Amino acid sequence: MKYLIVSVLSMMIFVTSCGQNSRAIRKKSKIKNKKPAVSVSVPNFNADSAYKFVDRQVAFGPRVPGTPAHAACATWIINKLKSYTRHVIVQPFSARTYDHVLRKGENIIASFSPEKTKRVLLMAHWDSRPFADHDKDKSKWRTPIDAANDGASGVGVLIEMARQFHLHNPQVGVDIVLFDLEDWGAPNDIRNQGKETDWALGAQYWAKHSHTPGYSANFGILLDMVGAKDATFLKEDYSLQYARYYVKQIWSTAAGLGYDNYFPNRNGFPIDDDHYFVNKIAGIPSVDIIQLDPNSSNGTFWEYWHTTGDTMDKIDKNTLKAVGQVVLTVIYGE
């Protein structure tokens, strides 16, 4: 899924509290005449609903591009998003994977209030890894994974957000982009045959050919591996380089909501995830909310990353709630 660049930029980020764990947050006026504070209504993120959306994807089996499970899941995602907005686009594309095979993918885009110029971009990838190349059992290294956390969790959270946008229209326009062919990088045992641009193929295509000509957004948020129990989301380094202001905004919002155990005030390391190409190619400052764990056996990500253990029983509603509520609060506060 991701290609780690081994370099760490040490930064000190000052995080301040910005709210309370409730359905309303208050934005204090900075105007000298001290106008009354404006109350912003934030919907309650439904973790039970998000969990069901994750489970529905996993039930199709591994969503590897070119398989019946992938096609069936695409149909379900498209129809589900269409039930919340009529502005749904399927962006077909072809890209060559590390093994020089030209494969077909589909980015799925759902837009809310497309007429609004101030926009927020929300992202996840919906395909699943065709290789369990970090499994402890070497015989499974070419086995496709269920990808409950690595893919389905982010999509499930964003579909629940789409449901909330349908019920409670935010002040800003929102575009949800679900990338395909994200996770077809070279297997770990032959990684020297691949390169970093073999990952996030759908994101690279979208960044060069956005769904709307001249598309732009004020900022973007990528959700990746956001469903495991007791997850910790460190401040990913490319996010700090390209979108420092929004990193501070997200992490301070989390602290204000009481979710700083999930969003600790600690820096991570650079990851070539989808957001990297959206930052670098599309020029949209984007933040990656991704579980980073330097103490895991793989030294970088969640313990079950790219293994057959990435299954539905690892998904925790409390983590889905934390991520969903934080991101909703940021969006409705715009």
* Whole-number Å distance between alpha carbons of 138 and 277: 32
Q: Which residue has the higher pLDDT, 26 or 193?
A: 193
At 39 the pLDDT is: 66
Mean pLDDT of 131-154: 97
In a domain, 231, yes or no: yes
What CATH number is associated with residue 75?
A: 3.40.630.10
Structure tokens at 83: 């039930």
**How much is the pLDDT for 1?**
52
- What's the rounded mean pLDDT across residues 1-7? 43
Sign of CA dihedral 14, 231, 9, 197: negative
pLDDT surpasses 80 at 9: no
User: Residue 127's closest CA among 109, 102, 154?
Assistant: 154
pLDDT computed for residue 27 by the predictor: 38
201 domain-assigned: yes
- 286-323 pLDDT, tens digit per residue, is 999 999 999 999 989 999 999 999 999 999 999 999 99
Report yes or no on 133 lying in a domain.
yes
Residue 10 has pLDDT above 60, yes or no: no
> Which residues, other chains included, contact 123 with Cβ-Cβ below 8 Å and sequence gap of 6+?
154, 176, 177, 178, 179, 203, 220, 221, 222, 223, 274, 275, 278, 286
Q: Is residue 12 part of a domain?
A: no
Is a pLDDT exceeding 60 seen at residue 3?
no
Confidence of residue 240 (pLDDT cuts 50, 70, 90): very high
Return the pLDDT at 24: 39
In this model, does residue 21 exceed pLDDT 50?
Answer: no
* 16 located within any domain: no
pLDDT bracket for residue 38 (50, 70, 90)? low
Q: Domain tally for the chain?
A: 1
Alpha carbon distance 43, 29 (integer Å): 22
Position 6 in a domain? no
Q: For residue range 143-200, what is the model confidence (pLDDT) as tens digits?
A: 999 999 999 999 999 999 999 999 999 999 999 999 999 999 999 998 777 788 999 9
Lowest mean pLDDT among 5-14, 42-51, 98-107, 264-273: 5-14
- More confident site: 23 or 237: 237
Better-scored residue on pLDDT, 1 or 166: 166
Q: Which residue has the higher pLDDT, 271 or 10?
A: 271
Mean pLDDT of 85-106: 97
- For position 40, what pLDDT does the model report? 76
Note whether residue 80 is domain-resident.
yes
Q: Which domain holds residue 311?
A: 24-332
Strands 102-112 and 173-179: antiparallel
With respect to residue 290, please indicate whether it lies within any of the assigned structural domains.
yes
Give the pLDDT confidence score for residue 169 in this predicted structure: 96
